[in-house]
A and B are shown apart, each in its own frame.
Chain A
Amino acid sequence: MLNRDGPNHYVRENLDLFESGFVMITKIGSLTIAFLQELSSLYWLARDTAAEIKDRLVATRSPFRLADFFYQTHRVGVGSIPMVVMLSVFVGLTMALLTGYQLEKYGMSTLVPSVVGIAFTREMGPLFTGIVLASRIGAAFTAELGAMIAGGEVDALEAMGIGPLRYLVTPRWLAIFCMTPCLSVAATLAGICGGAFISNLLLQLGYSHFFDEVMSNLLVKDILSGVFKSFVFGALIGLISCYKGLSVKGGAVGVGIATTSSVVTAISCVIASDSLINIFLVILFP
C-alpha cells in the first residue's frame, strides 16, 4: 500500500500519469484501426459491387433494372424536394435577414444578394442537401438493407446467383449520386429566393435588383464547385448508407444501431469532405 504522504506518492502519481497516457494512446490506436477497417470495408464494397457490375456487362446483361433505378431516383429526388426546399428557404431568409441588418449599419445592405448567392451556390445548397439526404435517404437505405440482411433476404439473393451488391447497391447508389446535384441546385435556388423575399420585405431591395446582383456576382467556378461537391456528397452518402445496411449484425437492434451509425457517419463525412474540398478549391482556384 502506498503512503500518499510518503516519497512513493510522487512515484505513484507519475505511474498514474503514465498509465492514463498509455490508455489514451491505446484508445487512439484502436480508434484509428477501427477507422481504417471501416475505410477498407467501404473500399471492398465499392470494388465488389464494381466487379459484379462488370460480370453482368461481360454477360451482356444490364447491371440493374431501370425500373428500380427510376423508383429510387423518384424516392431520393422528388421525395426529398419539399424538405430540401423548405429548409433552404428558411435558411436563406434568416441569412439575408441577419447579414442585412449587420451590413445596413455600414450602408452596405446591397451586398446581401451576392453574399446569399455565393454562400448558397458554393456552400449552403450542397451542404444542406447532403445533410438532408444523409438523414432522410441514407437512414432509409441502411434500415431497409439491414432488415433484408436480418431476414436472410440478401443471402437468398446470393444463393440464387443474383449478385446482391449490384442488385441492391447499384440502383440506390446511382440514384443518390445523380439526384444530389439536382437537389442541390433546387436548394440553392430556394435559398436565394428566401433571401430575396426577406430583402424585399425588410431591406428594401427589389426582386429584380436582388437577382441581377446575384447573377453579376456569381462566377462559373462557384457553380461548378457547388455541383462538384454535390456529386461527392451523393457518392459518400450512398456508399456509407449501403455499407452500414449490409454490415448489420444482431437483428432489429442491429438495424437500429446501424441506422444511427449511418446517419452520424454520413453527416460527419459530408461536413469533413466539404471542408477538405473548400481548402483544395481555395488553394487551386483562388
Chain B
Amino acid sequence: MSDKPLLQMQGIKLKFGEKTILDGVDLSVQPKEILVIMGLSGGGKSTLLSVLLRLLEPTAGKVIFKDKDLIQLHRRELNQTRTHIGMVFQNAALVSSMTVGENLALPLRELSDKKPDEIEKAIKERLDLVDLADAKDKLPDELSGGMKKRVGLARALMLEPELVLFDEPSAGLDPIATERIDDLILELRDKHNVTSIVVTHEMESAFAVASRMAFLDKGKIIFDGTPDEFKKSDNDVIKKFLESYLAHEKEKD
C-alpha cells in the first residue's frame, strides 16, 4: 500500500450556530482502502461526507485530495475535482423526472466529451455491473430501495472516480440486498482499484467490507484502526456498540 494518502481530513470542524457537529476530525484514506466510518445515529457521519465534497462549508479544517485542499478551491476547480469523487447518497438521490438511463447519462453528457454511442456503452457496462441491465428505461419511482441504491452507485461510477463515498449504503435494505451492495463495494476495490469511504452504523456490513475502521462520536474520531483492533477496543462507547451487535448476532444464531 502506498504511503501517500488519497484523501486527508485535517482538523475538520463544523458548527451550526452554537451546536458543534464536527469537532476537529483528522482522518486519511489510502488508495484502494475501504475506510468504514461508524458512529451513533445523528453523530455527524453523513455530515462529514457532505463536508468532504464541500456540499457543506466547514468552519475550519482542510480536505486534501490528491494534494489539493478542496476547501480552498475555486468553484471551477472544485467541480473539476468532484468528478474524481463519486457519492452514493443514502436515499440514492436520483433525478426523479429522468429514467435510470438518463440519470446515468447525465454526468457524461454534462461533463465529458463522450459521443452518444460511447455513453450508451458506458450505461450498459455500469448497469451490468450492478445487475440492473433491464432497468434502463424505468423511472426511479418504479425501483425498490436496493435497486435505487445500486443505480445510485452506477451513476457515481459513470465518471470513473478514484474515490467513492457511500452514505449508509445498507440502511433500510434486506440482508440479501445488503450483501449485494457489500459485494459491489469489494468488487470495486478488487477489479476497478476504487478507494471507498463507507459511512454506516450497521456492524455486519462494516466488518464485511472494512479494511480500516473509524468511529465518530460527538464530532470526534475516537477510534481509527483495523477491524480486529476495533473488536478489541477498550473505549466504552465502542464496547457498548459491539455488545449490542454481538447480542444481536447471538439472537440470530
Interface residues of A, Cβ cutoff 8 Å to B: 51-52, 55, 58-59, 65, 144, 147-148, 151-153, 155-163, 167
Contact = CB atoms under 8 A, between A and B. Distances in A.
B75 A159 contact: no
Interface stretch (B7-15, B79-87, B120-128, B130-138): B79-87
A161 B93 contact: no
B159 interface: yes
Contacts of A160: 82-83, 87, 106-107, 110-111, 155, 159
A159 B53 contact: yes
A156 B91 CA distance: 10
Nearest to A158: B55
Interface string B89-115: 101011111000000001101110000
Most A C-beta atoms less than 10 A away, residue of B89, B91, B94, B110? B110
B111 A161 contact: yes
B83 A161 contact: yes
Given A160-B83, A160-B111, A161-B82, A155 B106 contact: no
Contacts of B83: 160-161
Contacts of B240: none
Q: Place the interface of chain B in its size category.
A: 20 to 34
B252 interface: no
Contacts of B159: 160-161
A153 B152 CA distance: 11
B95 A153 contact: yes
Most A C-beta atoms less than 10 A away, residue of B53, B76, B97? B76
Contacts of A157: 95
B75 A153 contact: no
Contacts of A147: 96
Given A159-B53, A161-B111, A151 B82 contact: no
Given A51-B75, A52-B75, A55-B75, A162 B106 contact: yes
A153 B106 contact: no
A59 B79 CA distance: 12
